[in-house]
Amino acid sequence: MIELKSVSKVFQTKDIETRALDDICLKINSSEFVSIMGPSGCGKSTLLNLIGLLDQPTAGTILIHDTDVSRMSDREAARFRNKSLGFVFQNFHLVPSLNVMDNVELPLLYGRVAAVERKERVKEVLNMVGLSHRMKHFPSQLSGGQCQRVAIARAIVGHPEIILADEPTGNLDSRMGEEIMDILLELNELGVTVVMVTHDEHIASKTGRIVRLLDGKLV
Ligand code: ADP
Ligand code: ADP
């Protein structure tokens, strides 16, 4: 489903060149749950950003469903992201001025889903993450674990095939981290492909495969 062919990413700032990813070849199958691990600065976020079409490789090709996504225009990339990818971040990235329902509904506003169906979908995913009783709350009124559950609901409301999660448990205590992992594992069992960056060996051990990076190379 996701295939990286000899992918490299070089950042050029003034006279400093950083090879963040060096000739990465990686295949991730449909319905896999993969953890990406490695020390700070080894290229984990860069890799996730490339798979998430938030940045483009300097060399090599990225295929998702046999579509070359590595050189799409911004507009094509945005459409692809909205249709096929869900993002979960360490810091939740919720909109503080919107309540839980409205935060979760956001990705659907870019599509053609009718208002009535949008409300249904929002309720369905909030139910799934166990937050049906917090729909009118604002992010500031929720615990960190609850905020991350809202973020996961928002990530899945468009029914993406792939979830990309960058340290989703990084800001949570271990109990809340376990709850978030349980939700991601449940989604994975329903067939969603999950690619997750984590520093936590215990969290990673629950996933199907661990991919390790060191200085931009796969090890
Ligand atoms: P990780 O997520 O594993 O901590 P990153 O993917 O963020 O690592 O970074 C990999 C390397 O690329 C680091 O040396 C980092 O400094 C460099 N890097 C990342 N993003 C940029 C950027 N936008 N400009 C210049 N260098 C960058
Ligand atoms: P958890 O048990 O997940 O750690 P907390 O102990 O932080 O959650 O919060 C318990 C409950 O109190 C939560 O359901 C949350 O919605 C509510 N709550 C927490 N902080 C606030 C707040 N500042 N205003 C309103 N409700 C809050």
Could you read off the pLDDT of 140-176 as tens digits, one per residue?
A: 999 999 999 999 999 999 999 999 999 999 999 999 9
CA distance 24 to 3: 10
Region 27-42: what's the mean pLDDT? Answer: 97
ipTM of the complex as predicted: 0.69
Q: What distance in angstroms lies between residue 128's CA and the mean position of ligand 1's atoms?
A: 35
pLDDT digits (tens, 9 = 90+) for 170-179: 999 999 999 9
pTM of the model: 0.88
Q: What is the number of the ligand closest to the CA of 9?
A: 1
Scanning the chain, the segments in alpha helix (DSSP H) are 44-51, 74-84, 100-105, 115-128, 144-156, 174-189, 201-204
| pLDDT band, very low/low/confident/very high, at 110 (cuts 50, 70, 90) | confident
Number of structural domains in the chain: 1
Q: What is the pLDDT of residue 205?
A: 97
Please report, for the domain that includes residue 50, its CATH number.
3.40.50.300
Distance of CA 55 to the CA centre of its chain: 14
Structure tokens that stand for 70 in this block = 């590595």
Cβ 44 vs Cβ 56: under 8 Å: no
Structure tokens that stand for 32 in this block = 């896999």
| pLDDT band, very low/low/confident/very high, at 112 (cuts 50, 70, 90) | confident
Is the Cβ atom of 44 under 6 angstroms away from ligand 1? yes
SS3 11: strand
Domain limits for position 151:
2-218
Mutation choice for ligand 2 from 142, 148, 174, 176, CB with most ligand atoms inside 8 A: 142
Is the Cβ atom of 140 under 6 angstroms away from ligand 1? no
pLDDT digits (tens, 9 = 90+) for 49-93: 999 999 999 999 999 998 999 999 999 999 999 999 999 999 999
Distance of CA 29 to the CA centre of its chain: 16
Is the Cβ atom of 180 under 6 angstroms away from ligand 2? no
